[in-house]
Amino acid sequence: MLDVEALALLGDHVALDFVNTIEDRTGHHPDDTLRTPDDLYRWARRVGIEDVSPESPLGSPRDELGRVVHLRESVHAILVAFDNGHAPSYMAMQVVSDTCVEACTHRRLIGGPPSLTWAWDRPCLENVRYHVALEAASLLTDPRLMARTRLCAAELCGWFYLDHSKNNSRRWCSMRGCGTREKAKRRTVSHA
């Protein structure tokens, strides 16, 4: 079982790193690294989400973990649909949209000259879900970023990443991991 601290952050966008919190998603033994509310809290701190605490004023932290996983799977479903050239399901889009609306009711503008900034009502576990939903919506509605969003070509990976290669031709989430394994498999098959 992979720990949140050992999880590679290869998506180059917090929403993609969020979707990638399952190792070997398409394999026979997917490993969800968000098993407990504490895992969610530690992941959020690791990716730099601020104003988060292990407390959940809207219910139990375990219930909030369930809502976060539901959001993650909805974002994943949208990305897979786009990757396959299909329209995403209404339900998946509605989960992201509803979470963004909910998030906006818990933010306020603060600051002063020369500019303002957004802040959450209070530090809580829900802010992870809100932050990720807003980031996912930003990604999903940006044609430039979506044109560079890729699904790793490794057979059992299932991770998404932003392709920043010059000619937009990166195939794997990581050359060191998936790329090396896939190239080794091809060499083994060609020598057989």
Element (H, E) at 88: none
Q: Which of the pair, 112 or 69, is modelled with greater confidence?
A: 69
Supply 116's token pair. 């303002």
Q: What is the chain's Cα-based Rg?
A: 18
Q: Residue 130 is part of which domain span?
A: 4-191
**Orientation angle between helical segments 90-104 and 126-140, nearest 10 degrees:** 120
The residue type of 182 is: E
CATH of the domain at 128: 1.10.3300.10
Per DSSP, what are the bridge partners of residue 120?
Answer: 107
pLDDT tens per residue, range 4-32 = 999 999 999 999 999 999 988 887 888 99
pLDDT tens per residue, range 115-167 = 999 999 999 999 999 999 999 999 999 999 999 999 998 888 899 999 999 88
User: Cis before residue 30, ω within 30 degrees of 0?
Assistant: no
Average pLDDT over residues 99-118: 95
pLDDT at 171: 87
**What's the total number of domains in the chain?**
1
Residue (of 132, 31, 144) closest to 74 by Cα position: 132
